[in-house]
Each structure stands twice: as C-alpha cells, then as structure tokens.
Structure 1
Amino acid sequence: MRRRVQVFALVLSLTAPALTRAQGLGNSPYSALGVGEPYNPTNAANLGMGGIGVSNASPFYLNMQNPALLARRGRFTAFEVGLIGQYKPQISQLRAGQTQSQRDFGANLNYVALAFPASSRWTMMLSLRPYTYVDYSTKSYGRVLRNNTNTIYEAEYTYSGRGAINKAAYTTGFRLGKNIYVGAEAGFLFGNITNNSDARVLINDVAPTSQQLNPQPQDIVVSRSNRVLYNDFVWRLGAGWRPKLSEKWSLNLGATIDPATRVGATETDVYQQVSLGTGTGGGGNSLSDEDTLRANVASSIRLPQQAHFGISIEQINKLMVGLDVGFQRWSQFQAVNGRSGNLLDAMTIGVGLEYMPKANSTKYWDLVTYRAGFQVNQTPYLVDGQRVKDVNGSLGLSLPMGSYFVNYVNLSVQGGQRGALVGSQIRERYVRFALGLSLNDWWFRKPVLD
C-alpha cells in the first residue's frame, strides 16, 4: 500500500502545477462576468448522463456532486483522474447586421481524486480540480467624445482577461442506518484572475520613423490592469435517502447546499498612459509612470448560496433514470470592494439514464455501462434584456478493464448551444469531450495465512 500512496502523491505533485497554470477550456466571452466560467462539478461518468449525480451513485466510480453518497462506495479504495476538452465550431455575434464567427478549442485536467473507506459506513476523499476560469478578449470602436460631442478621432477599446481559481477539497460521507446518508465537503479555493482594459486613440495609420523630419503624433493608449488573488475556504453539505421499493428496485433522493460565503481576496489595480505607433516599426513611450491605484489591498467577494436536489429510480446493476434540479442565487454575488456582479439567479435542470445489459454475464459488452442525458440551464447572464440560455445533450459509456472488471475507462461527449443571435448576445455552439480513469482496489486488507 505504501507504493500506491507514493504513486498518488507523485500524480498529485505533477497535476497541481498543471492546474495552477491552466487557463480553462478556451475562449469564453461570458467568463468576463462574475468570477469567471464555472466548471461543472461532475466527473466523466456523470457528464454523459446530463450531469446528474445528486441522488445517484455507484460503487465503482466517484460521485463529486453529493458528499453524502461517498458512503455508498463500500470496501474499495478508488483513484480517479479526468481530462476535459471543448471545441467551439462557432462563437458568433451580430455586428452591423452581419454575423461574425470564430472557432476555438481548449483542454484541461478536470480532476484528481482519491477516496478510501474509514469503515464500512464511512468514506473519505481528497480531490483537486479547477473551480472557475477566465479567458476572453473583445474589441470595439467608437468616436472620442469632448463636451458630449463627437470629435474627429476614433478610439479602440480592448478588454481581455486570463486566470483561474482552483479547489482542493476534503470530503467525507457517512451512512446512518440502512439507507440514510449524510456528508460534508471542506474546500480551499486558490488562484488569481487578471482583467485588462485598454483605450487607444487612433491618430495615425503609419508609425513614425527616425528618417521623418516632422514626425506625426503617435497613438495614445490608456491601460488599466486589475489583478485579484483568491484564497479561502468554502463548504458543501449533502444528504441522501435510498428506500427500497421492492427486491430489485430502489428510490434515490438527494440534496446538497453550498452556503453563501465570503472569500478572501487581494487586489492590485494599476493605471498607465503610453504613446504607441501603429505601424510595423511602432513601439511606445510612457507618457506617465505607472499609477498604482491599489497594491495588494485586502478585500473579499461574496459567493452566493447554491442548492441542488435529485431524484432517481434504480434497478440494481441494471438501470437508473434520474432528474436533478439546481438553483444558484447569483443575484447575491458581490465582487471585490462590494461591487455588484450584475447577475441574475440561475437554474439548472438535468435528466439522464444509465444502463448495463447484464451484470452477471461473461460477455464483455454486456458489462459495459451506457449513458444518455439532456440538460437545460438558465444562466445568470442578461444581455439586452434577454436571458442567456444553455441547452445540451450528452452520451457516455464506461468500459471495464482489469482481471475482475472493477476498473473503468469513462468516456462522455456533450454537445449544445449557449446564447442566441439576438441583439448583442454571443452564441456559442460547443462539443465537450471527457475522459476519466477509475481504478479500484483493496488498500486496507489484513493479510490472512491458511
């Protein structure tokens, strides 16, 4: 067992720097809002069935959505690692009556987790995963105003952001009696996000050169950079109930709550004005020294309360059909210094099913688990008076491997659309791919001699 712990520690040491450097799943204009684009807390298996997992769990792969259901794992120690990628064949927006589009791709490590039983009723888990990411760059143009009147000069406005928040967590789940489960998760958020805004007055089309006798004025750029570091604890509580309906069928009920909480933040805000040539030989001269408006000023943000509920019906080792509903009170969100996030309350509805043809078969494909699901998200974003919606469908399967078929390769694909070509909304069509590896073994067995 000592060697296995060393292997887990090695994997964790390799993946922690990767998570720290990772910037998410590619360009996401909506990540400019709030604390960025939230990662879905599901693992690769649950992603393939509409992301549901508040009420349903399996002994062979981890449930990262409801801490209480860890206690359904039994005697196996489980190690899981997951990867996720996202391809956006279309990121589109209406500009001046025409549709402008681009493509994008991004990939990242999705989670690393180790769960082990403390007793027959108690299971614990250590995990590391990304929490949110920021990755966007937008550009717009407009006339420079003077005394509320347009001048002859045009300005270029550029907004960009990069960064991520990660989450390291300790999770514990207990079974009370035969079919009641309770659990809790203590997570530590850490990471940083940088948002930049540049306003550039366009004066020249050609940069000045040293040969010019009368060099023309250079373009002027006003630049502002805001960097916030986050580090603090967050919590999640969960419960589950699994009454039997008959000898083969059971009903699963589950609920989780993430209480509203303050997260510590440290903000640095820097302002500078420079001149810039627009041609190929251009460069720049500082017109002012960097003006640090805030330097490592302690502050905080307020993350909103979130609640999720799930119900599913299950035929043991055969079929499971479920429904999850989630509510996120993003209207309560506050950015650093108490600034409003201008977000709305959000809701998520997911349905999914899981099917294994024949658990006691000797044929390989009878032991493969198949999944499908559908999800509708009412996002917290409001653009031009229209709510941004996200609709997607998913498919997945788990391929058993190893001598006793207790290890699995989990594959899932999810395709959907967020936003619509209405007003200035941005429409994103995306395909997400998830790959997970679930390794199960007995780590804490007493040796027995015959």
Structure 2
Amino acid sequence: MRSNKHLTLSLLFTFSAIGAWAQATVNTNDPKSGRINSPYTRYGIGNMVDTRSAGLRGMGGIANGYAKDYTINAYNPASYTYLNRTTLEFAIDMQSNNVRIGDNVTKSGTFTISQFNLAFPLKQRHLAMNLGYTPISKVYYNSADSVMVQGLGKTLQTHNGEGNLNFAYIGLSGGAKGFSVGVNAGYLFGNIRNSSYFNVIDSNSSYTRNTDISRKDIYGGLYWKGGAMYKASLKNNQYISAGATGTLSQKINTSRSEYFVAGTDTVLNNPGGAITDTVSAVYDKKGKMTMPAEFGFGIHYGKANNYDFGLDITYADWSVFNRFGASEANIGQNAYRISIGGEVIPNVKATPKQYFSAMTYRFGAYYGKDYVYWDQTNTNINYYGLTVGLQLPFRPYYEQSGALNMSLDMGNRGTIANDLAREFYVKFTVGLRFNDLWFRRPKYD
C-alpha cells in the first residue's frame, strides 16, 4: 500500500512538472509553434535526436556497454539477450532552448514522444527480440535578417524549415556464455523542407525584387544498426561489460520537389503591380541520401544491481554524407561524443518504508563535436552537458514490476564567435517501464 502511495506521488510530481513546463513554453517570443527553433537544423538532416532511453540519458548517455536484466537498451541491440523479463518502455521529451546570436536571444520549447520499445526474451540468456520506434533527427528554424548590398540597397532575408526523420525497427539478439550480438533493422522515413525568401528593395525605393526558393525531400528506405557485447562475472557479484555498436554508410531513397520563383513588385503593392516568373520547378525527382557510418564503444564496471559506472565513445564519418550525389556546405568531416556516468542504488532489498533507498540515482557528463561545421570561418560546432536522473520503482526493487524514470540534461552547443549561434538547452525526459513474464513454460510436479 505504501509503495502505491509513493508511485502516486511520483506520478503527480511528474505531471505537475509537465504542466509547468508546458505553461512556460507558451510564453516563447519566437517561434510560438511548440517546436525548438534551432538555426543549425538548417544544415544536413537537422539536429540529431538522442536515441538513448530515459535512464541512460541520466547517466550521460553511456549506452554502448550497458546491459541489465530488466531494462531495454535499444542503443546496442546486443543487450536484448541479457533481459530476464518481457519489458515495455516508452518516454516523452520536454525541451527548452535559448539561442543567442550577438545580443539577440530567442526562446522556444517543445513536448514530443521520445521512443517506444517492447522487448521479450525468447530463450533466456540466448535469444531475444525487440519492437521499437525512435525519432532520428528534427528540423525547425525560422530566422530573418537584413543586409545592405551596394547598388541595390537593403536586402531582407528569411529562412525557415521543418521536418524530421524517424526509425521503426525490429531488433534481434543472440548469444551464449556472456557474449552477445544483435541488430536493429527497419525502415527510416520522414520529410524535410527548407525555404529561403529574399526581398531586395531598389535604391530609389520604387520597387522590390523578390526571390523564393523552396525544397522538400521525402525519405524512405531500409536501415540497420548492429552491436556486440560481452559481460564477465567477477568476485562478490561484481562484473565488467564491454560493448560496441556500428553501422556502415547506407543509402536512403529520396524524392525531391523544389521550385525557384523570382519577380518584382511595387513597394506599395498596388493591384497589378506584381510580376513573377517561375525560374525552375522540379517535382518528385528520385535519388538517394547517403547516411554516414557510425561506430561506438563502451566499458562498464558494476556490482549486481547496486551500482554501475561507465565510459562511452562514439564516432561518425560525415564526409560521405550527400543527397542526390552532391555534397553540402557546412557539413563537417566527422563528429564524436565522449560520455561518462553511473548509477547507484543504496539498498536493492529495501522495504516500502525505505523507499528512497530503493531508488536509483544517476549522474553523468558528456562532450562532443557536432557534424555541422561552419565552412566560412573554419569553426567547429561543439557541445557539452551535465545530466542527472532518478528511477522510482513501482514496488520493492527486487520484485521488478516496473519503474518511472526521469532524467535532466543541461548543456551548451555552438558559439557566438564569428557571428554564429550559441544554444543553451534543458531537456527533461520521462519514461515508464513495465516488466512481466512472457513465454515461460509452467513447471508441474
């Protein structure tokens, strides 16, 4: 009964935080769309989404070598083999983003689905499966500025875009004697639109020259990611685990529609004063997008379900990224991320009266280099952050019926040097986990 009270209080606290967050994001000054306004999403496929679970995010994202009996780690599909029970996990994200360019600050916020996973062991410690979904990247930006052009006058520029990429997949893993391999294979899909509008006011202010350029790409194709892991038992219930993940460069089917419209208009917009011309237009052009190869490695040390500490490194080769066979500006040669973190459970055998001792406390930090790279000034877009997290079990930890996971991630990305943008972000992730016994043959005396 007491554990149910703790669960009720936890849920009330969570939903109160969600309500307060949603109220705060309504008061953003630009945009008021419920989406994160990030200028760097104008390049490539936008901001890469953290595909790690709510619990792993609280540990700095140390996911390559992490495996537990009751937790899904879809980041490394080899971890499914170590699951002891059928497990359902889903999570939601709340994020606030402050973008500073010079002395100007833009605030925005969002509330989105983070991921969904349903994993179950088919043969204990030997074979397991997972059904999953996660966003891969997100695009939303809305910016405007003006530039004086000699001989023409003031040029007003507006850039905006939106879209996302998603991944729905089936994961399989198998192994024996502490070693496991796995793969997530499925369908990567989504669409991204980029638009730019230029308005040049003539020097005598009698008319303007307008240019409208827009492009929309629709993506859909097979995609996969593999993993391997080894977990060795040591003395006194201690263990060490190491894991690696990787995916080769892959091509995704792409359909592109784009147009280029130019014309003139009177400044006063008199009826009949506008003259426009479609310079070019292409619809449903078929091609490919080449995604980068990515590799990761992680190592963990822990004791049973008492504690776990780890180090993680990931690297992606973005030099191969292109769309329709053409490379793109402001895409760097590589990207990397280094993470450290851990979790501690004070007492895994705590009674309901000792609820706070049964909670899992998490912490971590990370530093990385983004794949976006500012060509004009040879400036890397780096990022770093600190994370904390909590896991609140529904019942005493040893019963493993499920838990509520929460993580907080605060960090910076980019720089205001060279007239670029610096983003300060706060991400709050809430995840629910449910455990049950499936596919177990009952024993009779």
Q: Which residue identity does 2:358 align to in structure 1?
A: L
**For each residue in 1:170-226, what CA deviation from the matched residue of structure 2 results, as whole angstroms up to 9, or x when unmatched?**
1111122x2101101103111110000111122599xxxxxxxxxx85533210110
Alignment of 1:96-111 (within 5 A): 99-111=103-115
Tell me, in whole angstroms, the C-alpha distance in 2 between the residues paired with 1:116 and 1:305. 29
Structure 1 SS opposite 2:417: coil
SS of match in other structure, 1:151 = coil
Q: What residue number does 2:88 align with?
A: 79
The answer as to whether partners of 1:269 and 1:295 remain within 8 angstroms in 2 is yes
Please give the per-residue CA displacement for 1:378-430, whole angstroms capped at 9, x wherever unaligned: 11233322212101000001100158442110000010111122112211111
1:247/1:100 CA distance change after superposition, 3 Å: same
What are the ranges of 5 or more consecutive residues in structure 1 without an aligned counterpart? 1-22, 145-149, 206-215
Query: Which letter maps to 2:306?
Result: K
Distance 1:110 1:277 in 2: 48
- The match for 2:249 among 255, 260, 263 is 260
Displacement after TM superposition at 1:359 (Å): 0.9
1:113 aligns with 117
TM-score after normalising by structure 1: 0.85
**Structure 1 residues 24 and 185 mapped into 2: Cα distance closer, same or farther (>3 Å)?**
farther
Q: What is the CA-CA distance between 1:41 and the residue it aligns to?
A: 1.3
1:186-205 → structure 2 map (5 Å cutoff): 186-203=185-202
Could you tell me how far apart the structure 2 residues matched to 1:38 and 1:401 are?
Answer: 32
Find out whether 1:365 has 2:356 as its counterpart. Answer: yes
Aligned to 2:373: 382
Within 5 Å, give how 1:147-158 maps onto structure 2: 150-158=150-158
Q: What is residue 20 of structure 2 aligned with on the other side? A: none
1:169 is matched with 169
The answer to which of 401-410 and 79-88 deviates more is 401-410
- Aligned equivalent of 1:305, options 285, 293, 308: 293
Structure 2 CA distance for partners of 1:397 and 1:93, relative to 1, 3 Å: same
Q: Distance in 2 between matches of 1:256 and 1:322?
A: 15
Return the offset for 1:339. 2.8
**Helix, strand or coil at the partner of 1:288:** strand
Match of 2:63 among 53, 64, 71: 53
CA contact (8 A) 2:400 2:435 kept: no
Kindly state the Cα deviation for residue 448 of structure 1 after the two structures are TM-superposed.
6.7
> Which residue of the other structure, out of 273, 285, 296, is the alignment partner of 2:262?
273
2:28 maps to what in 1?
none
The whole-number CA distance in structure 2 between the counterparts of 1:284 and 1:443 is: 71
User: What is the root-mean-square deviation of aligned Cα atoms in Å?
Assistant: 2.3
In the alignment, structure 1 residue 423 sits paired with structure 2 residue 418: yes
Alignment of 1:332-351 (within 5 A): 332-341=320-329, 342-351=331-340
- Tell me which residue corresponds to 1:181: 180
In structure 1, distance between residues paired with 2:427 and 2:333: 25
**2:114 alignment partner AA:** N
Q: Which amino acid aligns with 1:391?
A: Y
- Alpha-carbon distance change, 318 to 411 in structure 1, aligned in 2, over 3 angstroms: same
More displaced 10-residue stretch of structure 1: 232-241 or 437-446: 437-446
C-alpha separation in 1, matches of 2:228 and 2:272: 59
Paired letter, 1:191: G
Verify the 8 A CA contact 1:24 1:164 in the aligned structure 2: no
Whether the 8 Å CA contact 2:229–2:244 is kept in 1: the answer is: yes
Task: Provide the identity percentage.
Answer: 26
> What residue in structure 2 maps to residue 20 of structure 1?
none
AA aligned to 2:88 is F
Selected match of 1:437 from 432, 439, 444: 432
Aligned equivalent of 1:317: 305
Change (3 A) 1:186 1:283: farther
Check the 8 A contact 2:51/2:115 in 1, yes or no. no
Indicate whether 1:400 and 2:363 are aligned.
no
Shift of residue 35, structure 1, vs aligned partner: 1.1
TM-score, with length taken from structure 2 = 0.85
Give the aligned residue type for 1:410: N
Partners of 1:114 and 1:412 lie apart in 2 by 21
- For structure 2, the residue ranges without an aligned partner over 5 or more in a row are 1-32
Q: Is the 8 A contact 2:217 2:254 kept in 1?
A: yes
Q: Tell whether 2:225 aligns with 1:225.
A: no
Q: How far off is 1:64 after superposition? A: 1.5
State the alpha-carbon separation in 1 of the partners of residues 152 and 135 from structure 2: 47
Deviation at 1:261, TM superposition (A): 0.8
Match of 1:36 among 42, 46, 49: 46
Deviation at 1:237, TM superposition (A): 1.0
Further displaced range: 258-267 or 382-391? 382-391
Instruction: Report the residue type matching 1:382 in the other structure.
Output: Y
